Amino acid sequence: MDGKMVDRTTERQRGIDPHVDDPDHCHSHSEVPKKDEDWPTLTTILYFRDHVRAHLFKLYEDFK
């Protein structure tokens, strides 16, 4: 799926830095992928980053 937006809602619901050892500190969270191939590739991550960045730049341009 490289080069295309893929729904990664499950991974992102964990948050940037969840406290996974103590669920009292954190809301319930998704499973951590167990196999390397279940994680998004670097290409997919960079595509997502660039897509979000372009979208945000466009939003800010609309405010000018």
What is the identity of the amino acid at 58? K
- pLDDT for res 1: 47
Q: For the chain, how many structural domains are there in total?
A: 1
Each residue of 7-55: pLDDT tens digit?
Answer: 666 655 555 555 666 666 666 666 778 899 888 899 999 999 999 999 9
Indicate whether 50 belongs to any domain: yes
The model's pTM is: 0.51
What is the extent of the structural domain holding 58? 40-64
- pLDDT for res 52: 92
In Å, how far from its chain's centre is CA 51? 12
Indicate whether 64 belongs to any domain: yes
How many Å apart are CA 33 and CA 12, to the nearest integer?
12
